[in-house]
Structure 1
């Protein structure tokens, strides 16, 4: 972000491996999976993903005629939505990790779209959004995410949106999020290093 990079690691040992490997790369290459694979022993890569943020001044609430309901973040109907969306989409969304209430839209008794956030250090609200594949393209992600962002801003938090899919990035932009950086997550193959 802004010509700088922040690199985190779960252990001192893995941090040492990453520090040595990344020292050979320019800052702009630390989110390039091909470049990273040349200097680090990589088992798995997730990303890169755009990191976007919304201020209270930039936030644009989504219009909508549908009612957005609030549920506890661990409500069983959210698990049903994750199952309908599939493992990959549910994993990308991270809805199971929210610490906020869930903001949902229902069709009949089932939840067809939901959003919430996980409180992160530094007063960041990491936004999670998921829509049932059969209901996508109807503005439901924007509607539920709008309620989530409003809740986070009211709590004095900075909303953060992490997205790889272009459709998700478009929803964030429609709500007033600005892309300010890129995130790349890696898993090392080094034995005993996590």
Structure 2
């Protein structure tokens, strides 16, 4: 049976980010490895990435990895995308996520219909900082707009930037997409227009666009552009005092 090339490419990215020898099992299931330098989660946390029917998990220490191997053996790989399930098998002190992982290829991509004029700004431009401030801390952090390395593709309302999108270049030739719309300009389709420009730019550079999102509104924009949700990412801080 053939395997989705985009799924293979996405798995390769997260195997690299794990920063330890680990791979998604071809037959499905969960593989756990100790990796203090893991890019799947914040430092000293445990990270879980489910892609297709397989998952990889990084633990901050070898002792934690041993305990997690016993715990995750009790549930199917897909369950590691559910925080409530993870709480039943592990002593969890704090959770980040889950976030959906979406990917698009040139064949999948559905560009947005022509709309407002798109401009390009350099990353870190003063007007991007103003947009980030207007969005508030939570939305700004979710968007990752201040971490982009690509040009920022924007639409204006008068002199102000109403929406912007760009991407940060990750390992494995991946473009991690960021999108942000000013609160008073939402619901007008602007996010799709600027994101479409960013995705087109990434694909032209032979990068794999990745869309990581929690809010349903963001996921809808990604779906409209042809992104396919292939998996999820969840990070947990373990209660070391209760870890068997």
TM superposition score normalised by structure 2: 0.71
Distance in 2, Cα, partners of 1:155 & 1:62: 19
Deviations 1:123-160 (A, max 9, x none): 11111111011000111100010000001001110101
Deviations 1:80-136 (A, max 9, x none): 111211111111111112121111112233211111111111111111111011000
Are 1:125 and 2:182 an aligned pair? no
2:143 to 89, 93, 103: 93
Superposed CA RMSD = 2.0
Q: What is the match of residue 3 of structure 2?
A: none
Q: What is the match of residue 178 of structure 1?
A: 228
Q: What is the match of residue 26 of structure 2?
A: none
Distance in 2, Cα, partners of 1:153 & 1:11: 38
Matches within 5 A, 1:153-172: 153-172=203-222
Distance in 1, Cα, partners of 2:234 & 2:92: 12
**Count of aligned pairs:** 191
Contact 2:153 2:164 in 1 (8 A): yes
Matches within 5 A, 1:49-60: 49-60=99-110
Alpha-carbon shift at residue 3 of structure 1 (Å): 0.5
Work out which structure has the larger RCO, using CA pairs closer than 8 Å and 6 or more positions apart in sequence.
Answer: 1
Q: State which drifts further: 13-22 or 50-59.
A: 13-22
1:69 to 87, 109, 119: 119
Q: What is the match of residue 102 of structure 1?
A: 152
TM superposition score normalised by structure 1: 0.88
Alpha-carbon shift at residue 18 of structure 1 (Å): 4.4
Asked which structure has the greater CA Rg, the reply is: 2
Are 1:30 and 2:83 an aligned pair? no
Deviations 1:49-102 (A, max 9, x none): 221111101111111331111111111211211121111111111111212111
2:98 to 26, 38, 48: 48
* Unaligned ranges ≥5, structure 1: none
Distance in 2, Cα, partners of 1:15 & 1:69: 48
Q: State which drifts further: 132-141 or 48-57.
A: 48-57
